[in-house]
Structure 1
Amino acid sequence: MAGQISISHDRPMIQALGDSALVVRFGNRLDDVANRRAVAFARAAQQAKMGGVIEVVPSLVSVLVRYDSSSTRFADIAGEIRLIVHGLGQDSEGREHLVRVRFDGADLAEVCETLALSRERFAARHNEAPLRVLATGFAPGFIYCGFHGEGMVVPRRSAVRPVVPAGAVLFAAGQTAIAATDIPTGWHVIGRSDLRNFELGASPPTAVRAGDTIRFETW
C-alpha cells in the first residue's frame, strides 16, 4: 500500500494520515519494546527539528507527526524519519517523580479480591518497583504507567464510571494510570494522589512526560 512500510520494532510502519500528517507505528499491540521505541523516536524527532514539522505526539506504540504540506512532502518527512529510526540508540533516562497514593479507592476491595491479596499486600506489590511512563494523553495530562509484574493484572471494569476526579489513581491491564482532570473511566479506582499533571497556561502544561519514571509511595 502506498505510504507504508512493513512493521517491526526496528522498521516501523509509516502511514500517511491525509495530506499533512503521518503516523509511525512500532507495533500492533502494546509491549515494552514497542513502547520504548516509540518514546525514543518521539524524543529524537522532536530534537531533530525536521523542516516543515509542526508537532510530534507520542502514543503507546506509535507517534503522530503533523507537518506543513505547503513546505514539505510525505516522502521527504518519511525519509528523515527512517534516518532517525536507524540512528536510535539506548533509551535516554527521563525524570523520576515521587507520587504519594492513598489507597482508598472505590474499586480497591474488588481488585484485591480478584488478585487474592490483602489491601496492605496489594499496596506493597503496587509500590515495590518504579514504573515507566508509557504515554500521556487520552485526556489532558492523563498518565499511563507500566508494567506491573505477574499476579498484578486485572481487566478493565465492565461498566464505565461517569466521572472520577483529578488525582484519581487507576488500575487495569497491568498498568497504573493517574487522572489529571475529571474524566469518565473504565479503569478500577484504587486510590488518590495529590499529583495534578495539567496546568492550563503553563509551558509546558504537563510536568510528566513519556519515558519518565514514577515511584509510588503510600500516603
Structure 2
Amino acid sequence: MVRKTEKLMLRVSEILHRLDEEYGADTKCYLHHENPLQLLIATILSAQCTDARVNLVTPALFQKYPDAQAFAGADLKELEESIHSCGFYHSKARNIIACCDRLVRDYGGNVPRDIQELVTLPGVGRKTANVIRGNIFEEPSVVVDTHVGRISRKLGLTKEEDPEKVEYDLMKILPREHWIRYNMQIITLGRTICKAQSQKCEECFLQDLCPSAGSGRNSGSKGDKKKLK
C-alpha cells in the first residue's frame, strides 16, 4: 500500500511538473473581471456556458449594474434579457438578484471570503466559492469543473464522480501551492488536447503518465471499461 502511494505521488509530481512546463506557473482566470463581485457574477453565469460567451456579455452587464445594490434592485425581466445568451437565464437572473440582495443586507455589498459563508449565497456552490477564494483572496482552493473532474479521473487521480469528493481527493495528493493553478492548467488541457468528444492522446504531453491514454472518449466517466491503474 505504501509503495502504491509512493508511486502515485511520484506520478503526480511529474504530472504537475509537465503542466508547469507546458502552461507556466502564472495562470489567470479566463473570466474577465475587475473586482470580487464581477467574478462572482461571471462565475454564476458560466454554469453550462462557455467563458468566452460570458466575457461577451459581462462588459455591458457590469456597466449597467456596477455594484451589488444595482443587481439587487434589478428588474428580473431586464436582467434576463441582458444575460439571455448565457443560457438558463431565468434561474441565473433570480440567483444573481437574490445573491446580491444577501450581499447588501449581510455584507455591506462586499463578497465574503469564507467558504462557509460563500456557499450560503443563492446560486453559489463549492465550485464558485473556490473560484472566488482562489482568484480573489488567493486562498489555496481546488476548483472542480467538468474538465477538472473528467481529466483527473482519466489521469487516475480520483475515481469519484461527485465534484466535492473529487475536490477532497485532489486536496490529498496535490501540493497546496499548486491547487489554484492545477485547475487553470487542466481547463486549458481540456479545451485544447483532451477534449471530451475528441481526445488527441498522441499529442498529449501527459500520454505516458495517463492510464486512460488511447482508451476512447468515455474513459473519464463511470462508463470506463479500461481500469485505472
Q: TM-score, normalised by structure 1?
A: 0.24
Q: Which has the higher strand share?
A: 1
